[in-house]
Structures are given as structure tokens and as C-alpha cells.
Structure 1
């Protein structure tokens, strides 16, 4: 299984926001945004900052995806 942040990117598109806007609003680094873009693990605090900034639940920005073997 792996983590996918496709929901987050769709939400940004729907809200007409850029990744840079999210970084500023949530007060997170561009390095964290880059990790999210590569579906890498990030600290839970980063995810909570994003949820607070976007006023959403964590399930609205990420999901666990099964990898077919």
C-alpha cells in the first residue's frame, strides 16, 4: 500500500490555488510540498497544518492506495 495526495491536488484546482499558495497559507515549506507531490511520507503536523488552512478533514486530502502485485 502507498499514500496518494491526488485528492489534495484536485482540491487545490477546485479552489484555484497553486502549490505556492498552499505553502504560504499553511505555513509549510516548499520541500514539504515537493514531498507531497512525490507521494512521499510527511510529518503528521504538516498534514494537520494543511487541513487547518484548507478547513478540511485529512481524508479529504489523502488516501491509501493498494498496489497490485
Structure 2
């Protein structure tokens, strides 16, 4: 029996194309790694700080076959 470690996913190139269920990763200027959390958490955590979001990566999981 063979197990898959992950489901395939598509990278979404424009943030305007994000949909419910997509996984959004954020990279802040003063942090080395990407992090993922809810948008509400992101806004609450970084509102009023001098650590702006530098990059956004959106992944759309594909259904398992």
C-alpha cells in the first residue's frame, strides 16, 4: 500500500483570484519565513506595526482522486 504525503495544489498568481478554501501564506519584511493564518489574525497582529507584508503566496488544494 502506497501513501501520498500531500495533495497536489495549484499556485494562484493573483490575489484577486483567491477563493474560499485556498491556503494563504504571508511573508513579512522583518521575518525570514512564510506563515499562514486567517486574514483576521494577520490584520489584528500587524495593524499599526512597522513590519509590512512583503509577499503573499496562495495555494489552491486540488481534490484527492
Calculate the TM-score normalised by the size of structure 2: 0.31
Question: Looking at CA atoms only, which structure, 1 or 2, has the larger radius of gyration?
Answer: 2
TM-score (norm 1): 0.30
| Bigger helix fraction | 1
